[in-house]
Structure 1
Amino acid sequence: MFRVFNLILFLGFLMTGSSLVAQETGFTKLFNGKNLDGWIGNKDSYRAENGMIVINPDGDGGGNLYTEKEYGNFILNFEFKLTPGANNGLGIHAPLEGDAAYVGKEIQILDNRAKKYAELQDYQYHGSVYGVIPARRGFLKPVGEWNKQTVIVNHPKIQVILNGTTILQGDYLEASKEGTLDKKEHPGLERSSGHIGFLGHGDVLYFRNIQIKELK
């Protein structure tokens, strides 16, 4: 019964919830904890170290690291640890060329508490679909602690769960039908599959326990 309830919530978004735990059954590891096999892109800035994907400051911390495989609908679980002022992103349905925030979709990964981000637009804070749907704030753990995040995609619906609380739930095509919040073109909103990636902005971050369950 619990699995049936979760499936309805994941795929139908028939109710809003503040707490949701994705099931481990049927998940596949995207990161083996040892190397970046299965990933493509900037392997100078990103490295495997002690069971984590680390953004390497010596490699400038920029650039993108993508899964070799493309994904459509899925449940993605991962953990991340921020450093002060850190900024990164989770790309979904992305091609390998172009800015994933526009040619795909970008889910913000950001140290919301940093003073330099105090004047951002609502759609730029952690968990937001960049430029399109703002996320709720106040659920990140302090910098230096591990956060757990789940991203559920059933095109065009998306849900982001941070540390057990739903911070974003919506339909990105519906949200943008009268224009996007950032007033820019986002052709990637129409894409229903593509690569998953980490989108660097020159800052140090850590990722681990990255796993995915594909949905039909």
Structure 2
Amino acid sequence: MKKTKTLLFITAILSIATLSAQGDWEVLFNGKDLKNFTQLNGDAKYEVRNKELIGTSKIGTPNSFMVTKNTYGDFILEFDVFVENGLNSGVQFRSLSTPDYMDGRVHGYQCEIETSSRKWAGGVYDEARNGWLYPLSRNPKGQNAFVPGQWNHYRIEAIGQSIRTWINDVQCANLVDDTTASGFVAFQVHSIHDESLEGKTVRWKNIRIKTTDLENSRKTVDSDVPEISYLTNSLTNDESRKGWRLLWDGKTTNGWRGAKLDKFPDKGWEMKDGILTVLSSGGAESRNGGDIVTTDSYSNFELSVDFKITEGANSGIKYFVDSELNKGEGSAIGLEFQVLDDKKHPDAAQGKNGNRTVGSLYDLIRAENNGSSRGKNFKGVGKWNNARIVVKDGHVEHWLNQIKVVEFDRFSQIFGALVEKSKYEKWENFGRIPEGLILLQDHGDKVSFKSIKIREF
């Protein structure tokens, strides 16, 4: 009897030690009932079977969410998920539902769960708010982490402004964003419109969360997974280490001048609350403040610019600009990442085959999603969008909201042939100069810019 008590005592001590070694994880779902949750928005069926949380798809209902009653700020969340083929799902975190936002619509960060051919499971989507923040178009290595037809293990680290995700120990997202600091966790059953998906399920188990000793519990970041930051007019430590610098400091005209001036324009541009805005002048190209250009020239670089257009607006981000060309009326000459309201501005229907739409190499190459998304991923008028331009020797890429939409070689015969059939044919060596200025265009419409940053190769 005494020996039995001793063994029980040792077992208890070992159990406590094991719990301590696990870092005091909290079981988020007890495998028995849903007393710590509440359902919001849609009315898809949720139930508990075999210690699993099971959501069943239902046609004719909006997205459904099984939401924790508690809220969480900084945490590490782990869970296992099995989703039937064809379904889209996700796990919300730092998410909210308030009467003053879309009548209680669940909104906030979501870690993607999907079985589609684009393979973005593990990416970060901002549900009912900003759309895709970290699509796996930026991380091909992570696209193969999720394995359809089996249980997959997810890990989400949300610590401060850093949001990182893993599937089956493969890192998928490396995001920096400060939109929401805390909120609930929720398990989504996505709305469906295809009757063949009716009754299919997504199942979760082993759901646990950790809110203490987080810094010491972080996983090592995969150096192949790029960091994407949405911080306004500031750089992360990782960006600074990798050579990024701000092209606009968010406050002054330092580093910029008028394209046809030796100083910054006296009118037509506004700097307020960390936002640089070209003001409306009725759509007249370069007739108000005029284009502005960097005071430095660039050759091989990666440029990132956040832009927001008003309804019907037209503008552009140009590079390899020679400000000595075209001293007359109109804009300075260079390769252009088109910034446009495709639905309302007539220029979208001009040119050839859509080569003047948003994200395009203006008048030369149409922006396309290259099969990595269901659309061009423009977030809309009045919302912030990101333009990314990458130049390495002759190779050039345009990315719109982290999806590549244009790719070309500026020294190729194909590029030369395109120029010969465009409005640029009269400009000798167009797009092929060794280095040039970067330009923000005044096309007479109100367009705003922020977080303008660059790194050189």
Matches within 5 A, 1:104-119: 104-114=334-344, 116-119=346-349
Give 1:155's aligned amino acid: D
Verify the 8 A CA contact 1:102 1:188 in the aligned structure 2.
no
Q: From the CA coordinates, give the structure whose radius of gyration is larger.
A: 2
- Output the aligned Cα RMSD: 2.6
Q: Does residue 441 of structure 2 align to residue 199 of structure 1?
A: yes
Verify the 8 A CA contact 2:307 2:384 in the aligned structure 1.
yes
Aligned partners of 1:210 and 1:94: how far apart in 2? 17
Show the counterpart of 2:315. 88
Verify the 8 A CA contact 1:64 1:197 in the aligned structure 2.
yes
Match of 1:53 among 276, 287, 292: 276
Verify the 8 A CA contact 1:20 1:161 in the aligned structure 2.
no
Give 1:109's aligned amino acid: V
Percent identity at matched positions? Answer: 28
Q: Does residue 245 of structure 2 align to residue 28 of structure 1?
A: yes
Matches within 5 A, 1:70-149: 70-99=297-326, 103-114=333-344, 116-121=346-351, 122-136=354-368, 138-149=376-387
Q: How far is the alpha carbon of 1:60 from its aligned partner? A: 5.9
Show the counterpart of 2:233. none
Aligned partners of 1:53 and 1:117: how far apart in 2? 24
Q: How far is the alpha carbon of 1:207 from its aligned partner? A: 0.3
Distance 1:141 1:166, change over 3 A: same
Deviations 1:5-50 (A, max 9, x none): xxxxxxxxxxxx9722765332000111111111000522222111
Deviations 1:160-188 (A, max 9, x none): 11112111111133232334342641432
Distance 1:132 1:118, change over 3 A: closer
Aligned partners of 1:116 and 1:146: how far apart in 2? 22
Match of 2:452 among 196, 210, 214: 210
Give 1:129's aligned amino acid: L
Verify the 8 A CA contact 1:104 1:191 in the aligned structure 2.
no
Matches within 5 A, 1:144-155: 144-155=382-393
Name the SS of the counterpart of 1:71 in structure 2: coil
Deviations 1:137-161 (A, max 9, x none): 6321111010012110123211111
- TM-score (ref. length: structure 1): 0.81
Distance 1:115 1:40, change over 3 A: closer
Aligned partners of 2:287 and 2:270: how far apart in 1? 12
Give 1:147's aligned amino acid: N
Q: How far is the alpha carbon of 1:199 from its aligned partner? A: 1.5
Q: How far is the alpha carbon of 1:86 from its aligned partner? A: 0.9
Deviations 1:100-125 (A, max 9, x none): 98842122111112263452232211
Aligned partners of 1:36 and 1:194: how far apart in 2? 19
Aligned partners of 1:38 and 1:61: how far apart in 2? 20
Where relative contact order (Cα < 8 A, 6+ residues apart) is larger, the structure is 1
Q: Does residue 251 of structure 2 align to residue 19 of structure 1?
A: no
